[in-house]
């Protein structure tokens, strides 16, 4: 059962599709204080667990840490962080009774989940307005289904978007892309998509092509499609402030950019230099921006990734001026250690400054609102601009679109990826733990940068990460400029990578059908073992294994120099190792087992009485035979 409670005059975040009557706040099941801010407090019993919060650090059970819902341009996904790229304000309190809470407020929300006091949780909304939703249910999975029905069905991308995808910040020429395509094909490595980072643009301007690098872009796109490769360009939130650049001129002339308190266009710096920030909360501006994608769809592009849309701010024009003034004053005298730190702070504090987020405004369809009060829906509304246009122009399931920043509700029109991670073994496990948490919030099409975005990847790290990525709907290998090349043919043991990637294509019929069912039924693809085995005490604490669909369990290896791992089976299962076309099967009973998994094998556990389909390997989804399947189990 779901109840809605209204406090103050909350803004419509587009999170919810089912309209409910407001229940009296006196019926709210937790302690709540209202006023200038909203505070929700509840006691935690020793065995209570807290699930949810979507894209966040630490465990599947979020108890014991303090989190902030604040979409952040944060590359360091370390345990001390309180917020990442998404704001997913949904938790399940799982104890003797089960209760879920959704705090629908587009500004910052703080979640002290047993951090200040181990037996107390406190949620703080620094605003006097919010919708609060509570969900009662017998099980966590039942609660999730109710909540997902409330917020609407999850986005389904085109079938080809379930193929393997390769990306790199640094692919800059046609030859770069063709080399990636050709090296995959000649090494028997499947591939469906290659990504275009900011290098393809003319001076980092959205919806432009560097004609010096791509003289006939449409022919290039068509040539790649003839080889069953989809090109997926990036779109950033900021629009370069440049007279004569039609996107900027249209936005400026129509008042479609965010403004400062005096109504002047807010100026900040990102990749192109000074930009205007489109006011995606303004319906007319959002529709206008959505139509800009036509410049690339007309050239044959059928997929995009939206980035820098928290929004990330390298600096504001005003903040840069103040920093320069401070540096100038400090440089006039001999620099002691405190002066040095002052100079450092002046520069380091420029990016993503709260002062800047508090200094610009939106026209939220006639209501002037400060950005800090709606920060968490900015990226979601940018992606809504694209997804609304795509559905109107092409229909559902025709375009690939996913975003870095997100809020609950954006899951209806797009997927997400987990942002700029590192080539760290610990990030394989973090990737795993995020999957059920974002599924709870509706995001089914999701995945991490396999191999890690920053730092230098090793061959064994990438193979182990791919063994998890084989199961994630978005399977993308992505790295940063200046890091070690990490395409699957770069490490000298290409046959191992071919074996693992072949498994992905063999599993696509199962992954795709499971994905569609979970969208249709408002279910989770990935679940903690505790959701399926609530009376199993060991399962309640396992966080490095997940249930997949109704048939399987996955348990990837996420430590260096390990030939296997220990797994806990909640019931008898079939241990399957997949490698290329090879299938190895072993029956295992309930309990703890040590299983060995080679670098070219993908481990999977299938429940007794269940079977899953396997296709023949293929080099692209276009070549995949989804009719003649074999079943294992």
Other beta carbons less than 10 A from residue 141's beta carbon: 18
- How far apart CA 528 and CA 610 sit, in angstroms, is 19
Q: What is this structure's pTM?
A: 0.97
DSSP assigned state of 198 = G
Q: Which two tokens stand for residue 446?
A: 């999701």
Give pLDDT tens digits for 391-407.
999 999 999 999 999 99
Is the pLDDT score of 357 beyond 80?
A: yes
Confidence tier at 585 by pLDDT (50, 70, 90): very high
First vs last C-alpha separation in the chain: 37
Is the pLDDT score of 337 beyond 90?
A: no
Give pLDDT tens digits for 411-465.
999 999 999 999 999 999 999 999 999 999 999 999 999 999 999 999 999 999 9
Report which of 540, 545, 506 is spatially closest to residue 623, judged by C-alpha positions.
506
Report which of 422, 471, 391, 489 is spatially closest to residue 156, judged by C-alpha positions.
391
Is the pLDDT score of 90 beyond 90?
A: yes
Query: Do 205 and 276 meet the contact criterion of CB atoms below 8 Å apart?
Result: no
Confidence tier at 515 by pLDDT (50, 70, 90): very high
Is the pLDDT score of 332 beyond 80?
A: no
Is the pLDDT score of 333 beyond 90?
A: no
Is the pLDDT score of 327 beyond 80?
A: no
**Mean pLDDT computed over 14-39:** 97
Q: What is the pLDDT of residue 340?
A: 79
Is the pLDDT score of 44 beyond 90?
A: yes
Confidence tier at 345 by pLDDT (50, 70, 90): confident
Mean pLDDT of the chain: 96
Q: What is the pLDDT of residue 448?
A: 98
Q: What is the pLDDT of residue 343?
A: 75
Confidence tier at 338 by pLDDT (50, 70, 90): confident
Residues in the chain: 633
What stretches of 227-377 show up as alpha helix (H) in DSSP?
246-253, 283-292, 294-297, 317-331, 337-348, 354-357
Q: What is the pLDDT of residue 321?
A: 85
565: enclosing H helix or E strand? strand 564-569
Q: What is the pLDDT of residue 339?
A: 77
Coil/strand/helix, residue 316: strand
Is the pLDDT score of 324 beyond 90?
A: no
Confidence tier at 336 by pLDDT (50, 70, 90): confident
- How far apart CA 632 and CA 291 sit, in angstroms, is 46
Query: Do 224 and 231 meet the contact criterion of CB atoms below 8 Å apart?
Result: yes
Q: What is the pLDDT of residue 319?
A: 85
Confidence tier at 11 by pLDDT (50, 70, 90): very high
- How far apart CA 503 and CA 593 sit, in angstroms, is 24
Confidence tier at 72 by pLDDT (50, 70, 90): very high
Q: What is the pLDDT of residue 349?
A: 85
Q: Average the pLDDT over each of 29-33, 336-340, 477-481 and give the range with the smallest value.
A: 336-340
Is the pLDDT score of 331 beyond 90?
A: no
Give pLDDT tens digits for 117-131.
999 999 999 999 999
**Mean pLDDT computed over 153-169:** 98
Query: Do 377 and 369 meet the contact criterion of CB atoms below 8 Å apart?
Result: no
Give pLDDT tens digits for 256-273.
999 999 999 999 999 999
- How far apart CA 168 and CA 105 sit, in angstroms, is 35
Percent of the chain at pLDDT > 70 equals 100
Q: What share of the chain is helix, strand, coil (3-state, %, to 5)?
A: 30, 25, 45
CA 160 to chain centre: 19
449: enclosing H helix or E strand? strand 449-450
């Amino acid at each position: 059962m779901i109840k809605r409670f209204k406090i103050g005059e909350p803004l419509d975040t587009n999170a919810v599709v089912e309209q409910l009557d407001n229940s009296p706040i006196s019926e709210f099941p937790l302690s709540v204080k209202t006023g200038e801010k909203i505070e929700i407090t509840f006691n935690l019993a020793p065995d209570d667990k807290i699930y949810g919060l979507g894209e966040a650090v630490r465990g599947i059970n979020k108890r014991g840490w303090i989190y902030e819902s604040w979409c952040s341009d944060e590359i360091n996904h370390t345990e001390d962080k309180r917020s990442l790229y998404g704001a997913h304000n949904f938790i399940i309190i799982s104890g003797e009774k089960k209760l879920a809470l959704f705090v629908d407020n587009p500004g910052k929300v703080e979640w002290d989940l047993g951090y200040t006091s181990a037996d107390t949780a406190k949620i703080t909304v620094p605003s006097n307005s919010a919708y609060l939703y509570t969900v009662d249910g017998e099980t966590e999975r039942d609660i999730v289904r109710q909540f997902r029905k409330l917020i609407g069905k999850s986005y389904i991308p085109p079938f080809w978007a379930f193929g393997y995808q390769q990306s790199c910040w640094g692919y800059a020429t046609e030859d770069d892309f063709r080399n990636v395509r050709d090296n995959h094909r000649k090494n028997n490595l499947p591939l469906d998509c290659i990504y275009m980072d900011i290098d393809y643009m003319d001076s980092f301007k959205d919806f432009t092509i560097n004609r010096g690098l791509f003289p006939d872009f449409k022919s290039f796109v068509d040539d790649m499609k003839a080889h069953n490769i989809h090109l997926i360009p990036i779109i950033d939130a900021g629009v370069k402030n440049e007279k004569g650049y039609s996107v900027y001129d249209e936005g400026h002339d129509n008042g479609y950019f965010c403004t400062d308190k005096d109504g002047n266009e807010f100026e900040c710096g990102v990749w192109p230099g000074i930009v205007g920030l489109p006011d995606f909360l303004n319906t007319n501006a959002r529709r206008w921006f959505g139509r800009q994608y036509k410049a690339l769809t007309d050239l044959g592009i059928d997929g995009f990734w939206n980035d820098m849309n928290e929004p990330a701010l390298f600096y504001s024009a005003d903040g840069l001026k103040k920093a320069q003034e401070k540096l100038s004053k400090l440089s006039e005298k001999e620099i002691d250690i405190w002066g040095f730190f002052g100079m450092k702070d002046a520069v380091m504090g420029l990016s993503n400054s709260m002062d800047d987020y508090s200094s610009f405004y939106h026209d939220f369809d006639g209501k002037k609102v400060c950005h800090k009060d709606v920060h968490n829906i900015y990226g979601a509304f940018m992606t809504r601009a694209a997804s609304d246009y795509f559905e109107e122009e092409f229909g559902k399931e025709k375009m690939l679109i996913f975003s870095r920043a997100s809020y609950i509700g954006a899951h209806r029109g797009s997927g997400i990826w987990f942002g700029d991670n590192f080539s760290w073994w610990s990030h394989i496990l973090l990737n795993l733990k995020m999957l059920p948490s974002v599924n709870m919030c509706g995001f089914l099409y999701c995945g991490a940068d396999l191999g890690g975005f920053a730092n230098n990847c090793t061959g064994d790290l990438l193979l182990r990460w791919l063994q998890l990525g084989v199961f994630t709907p978005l399977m993308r290998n992505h790295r940063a400029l200046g890091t070690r090349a990490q395409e699957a043919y770069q490490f000298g043991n290409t046959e191992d990578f071919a074996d693992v990637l072949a498994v992905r294509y063999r599993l696509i019929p199962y992954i795709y059908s499971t994905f569609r069912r979970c969208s249709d039924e408002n279910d989770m693809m990935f679940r903690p073992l505790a959701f399926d085995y609530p009376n199993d005490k060991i399962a309640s604490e396992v966080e490095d294994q997940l249930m997949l669909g109704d048939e399987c369990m996955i348990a990837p290896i996420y430590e260096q120099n390990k030939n296997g791992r220990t797994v806990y089976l909640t019931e008898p299962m079939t241990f399957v190792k997949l490698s290329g076309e090879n299938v190895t099967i072993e029956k295992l009973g309930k309990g703890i087992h040590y299983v060995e998994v080679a670098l070219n094998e993908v481990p999977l556990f299938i429940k007794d009485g269940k079977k899953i389909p396997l296709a023949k390997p293929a080099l692209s989804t276009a070549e995949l035979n989804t009719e003649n399947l074999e079943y294992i189990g």
